[in-house]
Structures are given as C-alpha cells and as structure tokens.
Structure 1
Amino acid sequence: MEYELASMYNLLERILDGNEEPSNLPLSLLKAITDTFSDNQLIGAGGFAKVYKGAFRNRMVAVKRLRSFPIDEKCFNKEIHCLMRSKHKNIVRFLGYCADTQGKILIHDGKLIMAGMEERLLCFEYLQKGSLSLHITDASQGLEWRKRYQIIKGICQGLHYLHKENIVHLDLKPQNILLDCNMEPKIADFGLSRCFNENQSREISTKLIGTLGYCAPELLGGEITKKSDIYSLGITIMEILIGERHSTVEC
C-alpha cells in the first residue's frame, strides 16, 4: 500500500514539475492528500463544488470536488477539455482529473441497497493568496496602484490568451481569479466555458449562463460571444479600481 501511494505521489510530483502532462489521477491519491476530504482541508465552497487543500511531501495542490447530485458529464468533460488546452502564466495550472464510481450501502425503505456514488474531481496548483474577491473591499485599499495595475494587466493577458485559443470563459469575476504569492492573477473555474471551433464566433444557449452582476445583457437572449467576457472584465476592473463590489448590474 505504501509503495502504491509513493508511486502516485511520484506521478503528481512529475506533473507539478512539468515533466508530465495532466492525467487521470486515482481517487485514492486525492483522498490521501486531502485527509479524505476533511473539513480541516476545506478552502472554498460553492453551489456546485467544494475545494480542498491537498498536501504531500511538503508540496500543496488544490482539489475541486463536484457535489454528488447528478453530475453533468457534458459540462465536466467540457471543463477538462478547456483546461487541457489552456497553458499560460495567467491561467490556473491544471494538474489532472478523476472520474470514479464508488459502491456505497444505503438504507432505502428499510432495506439495505448498494448504490453507485459518482466522484468527479479536478486538481490544480495551489495559490496562496486565494481569490481576488478577498482583496477587494477594505483589503483592496492597501494595494498600491502599481499592484492593482499588475493584477488588471495579468487578467487581461489571461483573457486575451483564452480568446486566441477560442475559449470563452463565461464566468469571469473576482471569485474566479486566484492570486499567487506575488499577487500574479490566474483565471480559474472553467465549468461554464465554451471551446469554439476555429471559424465559430457565437453560440446560442437556452440556459442563463454566468453570475448576476457580471454577465453581459445579451446573455439574456442566450447569445454567447467573446464580448460576454469583455463585459465581465469591465465590471471586474471597476471593482479593483474602486475597492468595492459593484452589484447594481444584472443580466
């Protein structure tokens, strides 16, 4: 067992060092480095996932665990596809994924039944400063203008790279921008993203996509273009500059 765990640590270490591409990571590895998804390792939570800090050999990663109600496999696969394509200093570094189904005994109508519990997880580099949203409001007042400019420039560079790769993020906001120890921003959370074909400039969706206050008005009609991200970028820049959340715009 120790030999297997050491072998899995070696794999993750090689990916972190850039000697191997992101790959399918065993569920047992992700459980081991997060202390079986302990609350003590929890660093973030949203409506669709929880994020845990994973630690091994004095190194750290972030593990995003999707909630176990019916998984949208199409969205999960899209997110992996976008992440595998994205390699830039201002995009959060993707390390691997896990798609596993575990048998679990449950009581239903007074009887014991065996149910399949789906596990879908993503693994990323760990970024010490957390999300940009933590540094907007009072904390933002302590940021020098030079630092704010650096953060804005980094976000713009990351988004420019995504659009060159025909990736539309669709949920750009301070909560989805992470900061490293040097306050270098990295765009994260590609759960709603779209990867366009080479000659594609728009897409029509029947669902409302994005976060109220950050999504572009045209998304109400279901029209998805790269301009949607530019609108979200503008709101984010405004928040960085004024040091507080702007919440009057709704999509």
Structure 2
Amino acid sequence: MDDSISFALLKTITNDFSDELKVASDTYGDVYKAVYDGKDIAVKRFDQGFDDDDPFRNEFRNLRELRHQNIVRLIGYSYEKRHKFVPHGGKVVLASSTEMALCYEYMHGGSLDKHISDQCCDLDWHTCFEIIIGTCVGLNHLHNAQEGPMYHLNLEPANIWLDKNMTPKIANFGLSRLFASTRTHMTSMPMGTL
C-alpha cells in the first residue's frame, strides 16, 4: 500500500481538524470524520507530544497488508516533517514538527463502547452475538496470519468499531506486535488501557 495523502488535504477535509468532526480519541490522538474521493473516512491525527513515531509506524506497518472483513481497512496515510522559525528564550530558533495521520474506512456504527455500559446495552441479543463472533473471527485471523501471529495487545470495546450493518472491525493497532511464533511472550512494561 502506498496511498500517501497530503497533510494539507487532510486539514481541508477535516475543516482543520475541527471539534465538530471529531468522533473519537485514543492514547495517540484524535479521530475525525471526513469525505475523501466521495466516501466517508476516519482520519486519525497522531499527537505531536510523543517523542517518537513508533505508534504511527507500528499501526501503519501492521495494517497496510491486512485484508479481512473484521479488521478495519487502512485507506491512506500522511507523514510530513515541517520546519519553521519560532521565538524561544529571547532568540529565534528553527523548530521541527512531524504531522502524522492514518486514514481508515469510516465506521458508521461507532465504537462498541458507545453501545454498552454497566447500566445498559442498546443492542439486541442477536446483534451482540454477531459482534462476539465477528471479533473472534478477526482475532483468529490475526493470530494465525501467514507471516506470523499478530497480537493486538489492547483489545477493548473502544477498539472494536461497527460499520453501518453493525459488523465488528478490530481497530487501533498502535500497540500490536508481530511475532515469529505462537510461543508465549512476556513484556516487562504494561501497555494499553488499564
């Protein structure tokens, strides 16, 4: 996949990343609804506050080849470095920033966490069952991928998006990892949602 989209275009189609078009937020940034090539898309703009671009690169790398009905489809990306002069400490210095965004198919049903809570669930039993089955099928695809198993490492209702037919699609692959085998792997650092 090599569908690079200019950051200037993403600013235009999100009305300069307007709060009115914001549909979600996660650990690494905000997600906006936009229209690109006549279709609704979701644009995830990564926060600039991170010291590195690993979450962006990881999510791009892990999603670019994935094609499955229960995994969100990556449509394009933007990665642009910018330099500008800014005042700092009484001097004018050259500062750099990196704008990073990933574009996905838009999920009209929103995220699963918007439909369920401790108090109630606005989904009927059949729809809940189909969401459970679809999520398991998507996970099975990840865990049995030909190039080696991929572990999501942050699966939660906020990272299961629903299309207009309420078909579940696993999203937010910023923490996911590819492994060479299915043997047990240990991490020394907690990641993901507590």
Check whether TM > 0.5.
Answer: yes
Distance in 1, matches of 2:87 and 2:182, equals 49
- TM-score, with length taken from structure 1: 0.70
Tell me which residue corresponds to 2:166. 183
Tell me which residue corresponds to 1:210. 192
Alignment of 1:125 onto 2:105: yes
Encode CA deviations 1:44-91: one digit per residue, 9 max, x unaligned. 123321111112464211111111023433332222111013210110
Specify which structure has the higher proportion of strand.
Answer: 2
Encode CA deviations 1:135-191: one digit per residue, 9 max, x unaligned. 002551x32211111111111111111111111000000000001111111000000
- RMSD across aligned positions (CA): 1.8
| Equivalent residues in 2 for 1:44-123, closer than 5 Å | 44-56=24-36, 58-123=38-103
Q: Which runs of 5+ in 2 are unaligned?
A: none
Tell me which residue corresponds to 1:171. 154
Aligned residue pairs total: 190
2:28 touches 2:55 (CA, 8 Å); kept in 1? no
Q: CA deviation at 1:113?
A: 2.3
- TM-score, with length taken from structure 2: 0.89
In the TM superposition, structure 1's runs of 4+ consecutive aligned residues that sit over 6 Å from their partners are: none
1:106 touches 1:113 (CA, 8 Å); kept in 2? yes
Distance in 2, matches of 1:30 and 1:164, equals 34
SS in 2 for 1:171: coil
Distance in 1, matches of 2:172 and 2:37, equals 26
2:72 touches 2:170 (CA, 8 Å); kept in 1? yes
Distance verdict in 2 for CA 1:104–1:40, change over 3 Å: farther
Sequence identity percentage: 39
Matched residue type, 2:76:
G
Distance in 2, matches of 1:205 and 1:102, equals 35
Distance in 1, matches of 2:131 and 2:110, equals 13
Distance in 2, matches of 1:124 and 1:155, equals 18
Specify which structure has the higher proportion of helix.
Answer: 1
Tell me which residue corresponds to 1:217. none
SS in 2 for 1:23: coil
1:22 touches 1:95 (CA, 8 Å); kept in 2? no
1:131 touches 1:179 (CA, 8 Å); kept in 2? yes
Distance verdict in 2 for CA 1:170–1:29, change over 3 Å: same
Q: CA deviation at 1:33?
A: 1.2
Distance verdict in 2 for CA 1:56–1:94, change over 3 Å: closer
Matched residue type, 2:99:
E
2:69 touches 2:169 (CA, 8 Å); kept in 1? yes
Answer with 1 or 2: which has the greater Rg.
1
Distance in 1, matches of 2:115 and 2:2, equals 30
Q: CA deviation at 1:112?
A: 2.6
| Equivalent residues in 2 for 1:140-151, closer than 5 Å | 140=121, 142-151=122-131
